[in-house]
Amino acid sequence: MARTAQKVESLIAEDPAMADALSVVYERTDAGSNEVEWGDVSDELTSGQWGRLIEKGILVDGDRGFELADADAVESALDDSDGSGASAASAASSADIDEMESTTWSKWDKLAAVASIGLFAGYSLKSVRAVVGGAVDVFMGPVEAALPFYVVIMILAMLTGLYSTLLQDNLMNMEKMGAYQQRMKDIQQRQKEAKEKGDEQAMQRIREEQMEAMGDQAGMFKEQFRPMVWTMFLTIPVFLWMYWRIGGQTPAVVPQKIILPIAGGPFDWQKGILGPMQAWIIWYFLCSMAFTQLIRKALNIQTTPT
């Protein structure tokens, strides 16, 4: 029932005239008891409206004509449409979720996730850190030889901020995320209104919709986690290289100390500033946050759903 009601509200949200068209169909089927043909309603409906009802699955094939897929849901949705435009608009976003292709991970996404988990071992295993750090040093060694280490960290923070922003923009469907959030807000709002009115029938329909929305929550997590996997896959080696380079490799990084904003200094690169967070980590995060915000503004990239 909930699905049919959402489809009806979606149609009405897209075109308010569909409410009158559907009311005519509902009446001429005697509240869903009988079937209806195009000739029975052609005096009140356009062929486009008739086609939309069939296309959306509100009218389905019967024995001799067409019948309402769920007359009770149609009646309820028509009643709701009389006094709640917000509910209909929100139901449109719910229908959009149903029509969207579900998020799927490719084999490359799964491989990136497995590789990221493996790279995490570098934080505790010196042998892994040495292998990854040495491999990255092939590219970063010449850069570090030409620039002070704090500038190298700034460059790495800018690069990681750039590709993490681009990954979010390309791998996360913001429209879909926004539809997920809007659907949950709409369910909560309608649940509150139904409770205030003491409408048990509406409460039952909303509970059914809540159960269906549990699948949307899983889809939202998949949408959020996919770009995160690729960001970790590319960022962890950078962190391991910095950790490897600062952790006693020769020659020593230049300069050997850094002055941090607010905290002052100079501090050794491995000096704990905020609990276990060392000076180089604090400097990286400060640079990363600043560059990421600048990149998002410059490229006009939205990384949160509206």
At 246-268, the pLDDT tens digits run 876 666 777 777 878 777 778 88
E strand or H helix that includes residue 135: helix 126-146
pLDDT at 80: 67
> From CA 85, how far away is CA 10, in angstroms rounded?
11
pLDDT at 89: 44
More confident residue, 303 or 107: 107
> From CA 103, how far away is CA 254, in angstroms rounded?
46
pLDDT at 248: 64
Three-state secondary-structure class, residue 59: strand
At 84-107, the pLDDT tens digits run 444 444 444 444 444 444 556 788
At 8-61, the pLDDT tens digits run 777 777 777 788 888 888 888 887 678 888 888 888 888 878 888 888 788 888
Rg, Å, the chain Cα set: 29
Whether this model's pTM surpasses 0.85: no
User: If we measure between CA atoms, which residue out of 63, 73, 84, 62 comes closest to residue 26?
Assistant: 73
Three-state secondary-structure class, residue 35: coil
E strand or H helix that includes residue 273: strand 272-274
Query: Which residue shows structure tokens 């979720």?
Result: 97
Handedness of CA 275, 225, 136, 163 (dihedral sign): negative
> From CA 123, how far away is CA 132, in angstroms rounded?
11
Pull the structure tokens for residue 122.
Answer: 């570098």
Band of pLDDT at residue 156, cut at 50, 70 and 90 = very high
Pull the structure tokens for residue 258.
Answer: 């850094």
> From CA 151, how far away is CA 145, in angstroms rounded?
11
